[in-house]
Amino acid sequence: MGARRPIIVTENLTKQYGQVTAVKNLNLEIYEGEIFGLLGPNGAGKTTTILMLLGLTEPTAGRALVAGLDPTRNPLAVKRIVGYLPDNVGFYDDLTARENLLYTARLNRLPREEGQRRVEAALEQVGLGAHADRRVREFSRGMRQRLGIADIIVKDPRIIILDEPTLGIDPEGIRELLGLISRFSREEGKTILISSHLLHQVQQVCDRVGIFVNGSLLAAGPIESLGRQIMAGKPLEIELQVEPLFGEVLSLLASLEGVEKVEKQGPYIRLRCAKGKDIRPRLTGLLAERGISLLHLRARGYDLDDIYLEYFQGEGRI
Amino acid sequence: MTGWRRKLQQLASWCREAFRGSGGLKVIVAKELADHFSSTRMSILFSLVAAACLSALYVGALTIRETVGEQDTAYVFLRLFTTGGSSLPSFISFMSFLGPLLGLALGFDAINGEYHRRTLGRLLSQPIYRDDVINGKFLAGIIVLATMIVALGLLVAGLGLVMIGVPPRGEELARMLLYLLVTLVYVSFWLSASLFFSLLFRQTATSALAGVATWLFFAIFEPMLAGIVADGLFPAPEDAPAVQQLRNAVVRQNLSRLSPTVLYDEATVTLLNPGVRTLGPVMVQQLSGAIPGFLPLGQSLLLIWPHVVGLLAMTMLIFALAYYFFMHQEIRTS
């Protein structure tokens, strides 16, 4: 990525609602041109963080900088360069898709012709060209979401913030949406911040993710390094499937040096190694000697699902 | 030398940035106007008020034609607005009763409707100032109300002209236009009240009900309440001394003037009926030797000046409250 410079920075950003602390001392850096996934369960403070980045909510303490601007002091300048797709985006139901987007264009003070041109292009880009003159009240959830993306395209911002963009749309819609999002990043160099609690979907497109629980950022980085970060100091767990599977296999595996525990879970066998040991290099040879073929082998803790679970089960103690 | 010059330039650019506005206000007003004018709600309301007012005009004009020989003909044109029949009240009583409904209907879902449709977050993330939204909605509401009131007033004036055939004099026209202006202020009060309720309550039905409740309270119950309080403070039975009775009347009137409806009624009656010379209680001694006659426009205005100022102040106050709430409200949708 070359010389990367952060475009969104938060310094000890904190937000309290009465007694409740929604965001606690958040220190985050998001680099220009990357896709950053802010992951966390509902109520973790993701939306609050986003509102503070947009200057729509004032931080209780600390500050945020978006492209070097403080959103609290200079909200207009920030809002000019940031496009925001709120969680469960809404439109004016009585207006058509085109009218809704033209309103956005006017609010952004685009000249009339330029606005119309961009609206047409945006509608085409998200595949709503044929529905431009239909009232939004007739739109499905997925179409609304796409219209929300078109809304951002019209604005053409440097930074795009998407709050739970995949919520409530079908898998095909999600695939299209994520395709659009990664295209923005790859082709147009936009910085994108996605907040979500659905990791699978977001995992595919994010360059880096941050795990956000109870108002604190627990870890941030590329997904692989997050796995290492979390699994460091933890015993390795291996999940495998072999054929033929007979009782002896279990005892054979249990007798291996460095194996602490063996248990059978449906078609899978789970091995827990002793701390600091990894039996994987020896495993295949051993099995092959006995004429047992290996169908599936996976070290747990190296994809987002496990990371996520680990964090949530640990209630952020890690 | 260059130091202070640069500082001056910075100050100038800061001022430009601070006072230039975002241009969002104009866009929002235009959009709200389009919404109002094309909405079914607006056409229903306008038809209702127009039907009421036109029938009042018709009955009023008939009454005037019957009685015009018996009374003197001064200010016949203005009597179009104040004369009712046996079956229907006058134009001004209809306006005083239905006007609030216009204001309430325009504003009761102004802000919570945006929450409800989940458009507020998207709207506020555009490069506009936050107050552009509430200012724009208020301004658009006032423009719609002004259009409707002026249209109605001129319609009635024109039709009345045809029906009674007496052209208005300059003063009568001026009085009518002032009446429309005061009506606009009054209806704007209800618009700002409904905007305020739309901020206070998240459900549009609740805010609509709150608006209607306030309207009924001020139109009907507040004057009654004023009477009860006055009787309690200064009981004035039949045989009470005059001072006591006067006190009772003054307290009752001043308390009832806390209601914008009462203020509006007093102001419009004075404006449209030059024969009204005073609004407070009058002693018999004060009347003896007085020559009945009409007040010139300037004197009528003087009489109702406090009323108009009061109405304006109430409108401003409620709008300021709404503004404050809006600027400090969290925009989280859930």
Tell me: the pLDDT tens digits for A265-308?
888 888 888 777 777 888 878 888 888 888 888 777 555 666 66
Instruction: Give the closest residue to B79 by CA, choosing from B66, B95, B63.
Output: B63
Token pair 């219209």 in the structure block, residue: A147
More confident residue, B2 or B139: B139
Q: Report whether A125 contacts B149 (CB < 8 A).
A: no
| Continuous H helices in chain A | 46-54, 75-81, 97-107, 112-125, 141-155, 171-188, 199-203, 223-231, 247-255, 280-289, 304-313
> What pLDDT does B264 receive?
95
- Among A84, A96, A107, A167, which would you mutate to test the B interface (most chain B Cβ atoms within 10 Å of its Cβ)? A107
Q: Residue B95: inside a domain, yes or no?
A: yes
Angle formed at CA B151 by CA B147 and CA B157, multiple of 5 degrees? 150
pLDDT over threshold 50, residue A2: no
- The predicted model gives B287-310 an average pLDDT of 88
- Is there a domain that residue B130 lies in? yes
Give bridge partners of residue B65 from the DSSP assignment. Answer: none
Q: Say if CB A148 and CB A168 are below 8 A apart.
A: no
DSSP A143: H
CA distance B19 to B3: 24
Q: What is the mean pLDDT of residues B305-312?
A: 95
Q: Are A209 and A37 in contact (CB under 8 A)?
A: yes
Inter-chain CB proximity B22 and A76 less than 8 Å: yes
Checking phi first, is residue A271 left (phi over 0); if not, alpha (psi -120 to 50) or beta? beta
Q: What are phi and psi of A16, to 5 degrees?
A: -115, 135
C-alpha dihedral over B2, B3, B6, B7, to 10 degrees?
-150
**Alpha helices (H) along B68-203:** 76-82, 91-107, 112-117, 120-124, 130-164, 170-200
| Contact by Cβ (8 Å): B223, B262 | yes
Kindly state the percentage of chain A with pLDDT values over 70.
91
Q: Which residues in chain B have Cβ-Cβ distances shorter than 8 Å to A57?
A: 330-332
Q: Give the confidence band of A198 by pLDDT, cuts at 50, 70, 90.
A: confident
3-state DSSP call for residue A269? strand
Asked whether the predicted pLDDT for residue B19 surpasses 60, the reply is: no
Residue B216's φ and ψ, nearest 5 degrees, are -65, -40
At B36 the pLDDT is: 93
Residue in chain A closest to B119 (alpha carbons) equals A90
- Identify the contact set of chain B against chain A, taking CB-CB distances under 8 A: 22-24, 27-28, 30-31, 35, 38-39, 117-119, 121-130, 330-334
pLDDT at B126 over 80: yes
The whole-number average pLDDT for the span A131-154 is: 93
Position B17 in a domain = no
Average pLDDT over residues A215-238: 76
Bigger pLDDT: A24 vs B282: A24
Bridge partner residues of A195 (DSSP): A38, A163
* 3-state SS assignment for residue A96: strand
Closest Cα in chain A, distance from residue B118 (Å): 4
Contact call for residues B307 and B259 (beta carbons, < 8 A): no
For residue A197, which amino acid is it? H
Structure token digits, residue B111? 């802000």
pLDDT range class, residue A43, cuts 50, 70, 90: confident
In a domain, B73, yes or no: yes
Using an 8 Å Cβ cutoff, are B182 and B271 in contact?
A: yes
CA distances for A187 relative to A181, A195, B86, angstroms? 10, 21, 77
How many Å is the Cα radius of gyration of chain B?
Answer: 24
Most confident residue range from A228-237, A242-251, B20-29, B38-47: B38-47
The answer to whether residue B36 is domain-embedded is: yes
A85: chain B residues, CB-CB within 8 Å? 122
Most trustworthy range by pLDDT among A34-48, A273-287, B9-23: A34-48
- pLDDT (0 to 100) of residue A3: 54
Task: Render pLDDT for B314-324 as a digit per residue (tens, 0 to 9).
Answer: 999 999 999 99
Model pLDDT for residues B134-191, shown as the tens digit of each residue = 999 999 999 999 999 999 999 988 888 888 888 888 999 999 999 999 999 999 999 9
B251: its two tokens: 């307290």
Average pLDDT over every residue of A75-103: 93
Give the model's pLDDT for residue B122.
Answer: 92
B52-79 pLDDT per residue, tens: 888 888 888 888 888 777 766 778 888 8
pLDDT class for A232, splitting at 50, 70, 90? Answer: low
**Within 10 A of A313 (CB to CB), how many other CB atoms are there?**
10
Task: Go through the domains of chain A in sequence order and give each one's CATH number.
Answer: 6-221 (3.40.50.300), 230-313 (3.30.70.100)
A18 in the Ramachandran plot: left (φ > 0), alpha (ψ -120 to 50) or beta? left
Tens digit of each residue's pLDDT (9 = 90 or more) over A240-261: 888 877 777 788 888 877 788 8
Pair of tokens at residue A129: 């060209």
Give the range of the structural domain holding residue B191, as residue numbers without chain letter. 22-283+290-328
> Are the C-beta atoms of B46 and B38 separated by less than 8 Å?
no
- Read off the pLDDT band of A318 (50, 70, 90): very low
What residues are paired with A194 via a beta bridge? A37, A162
- List, in order, residues 6 or more apart from B92 with CB less than 8 Å away: B81, B82, B179, B265, B268, B269, B272
Given a contact cutoff of 8 angstroms between Cβ atoms, the answer to whether A2 and A44 are in contact is no
**CB contact A107 to B (< 8 Å):** yes
B111 three-state secondary structure: coil
Task: Give the closest of B39, B122, B127 to A90, CB-based.
Answer: B122
Return the SS3 of B228: helix
Mutation target for A interface from B125, B137, B204, B328: give the one with most A CBs within 10 A. Answer: B125
**β-strands A82-85, A6-17: how paired?**
unpaired
DSSP assignment of B14-73? HHHHHHH--SHHHHHHHHHHHHHHH-HHHHHHHHHHHHHHHHHHHHHHHHHHHHTTTS--
Closest among B178, B199, B176, B196 to B188, alpha carbons compared: B196
CB atoms < 10 A from the CB of A225, how many?
A: 12
Residue whose token pair is 């039975």: B237
Contact A262, A253 (CB under 8 A): yes
The minimal CB distance from B24 to the residues A83, A86, A107 is found for: A107
pLDDT confidence of residue B334: 43
User: What's residue B30's pLDDT?
Assistant: 94
Pairing outcome for strands A159-163 and A237-243: unpaired
Q: What letter would DSSP give residue A135?
A: B
pLDDT of residue A314: 54
Whether the per-residue pLDDT at A87 is higher than 80: the answer is yes
Q: What does the pLDDT average to over A44-66?
A: 92
Q: Tell me the sheet residues that pair with A204.
A: none
- Mean pLDDT of the region B204-218: 95
pLDDT value at A1 more than 50: no
Q: Which residues pair with A272 in a beta bridge?
A: A237, A261
Q: Please give the pLDDT value at position B288.
A: 79
B151 CB neighbour count, 10 Å cutoff: 13
A with B: how many residue pairs have Cβ under 8 Å apart? Answer: 77
Between CA B103 and CA B113, with CA B109 as vertex, the angle to 5 degrees is 160
Could you give the maximum distance between any two Cα atoms of chain A, in Å? 77
Which residue among A56, A94, A148 places its CB closest to the CB of B331? Answer: A56
Task: Give SS3 for A57.
Answer: coil
Average pLDDT in chain A? 85
> Higher confidence at residue B100 or residue A223?
B100
Q: What total of structural domains would you count in chain B? A: 1
Q: Which two tokens stand for residue A65?
A: 């900088």
Residue B258 within a domain: yes
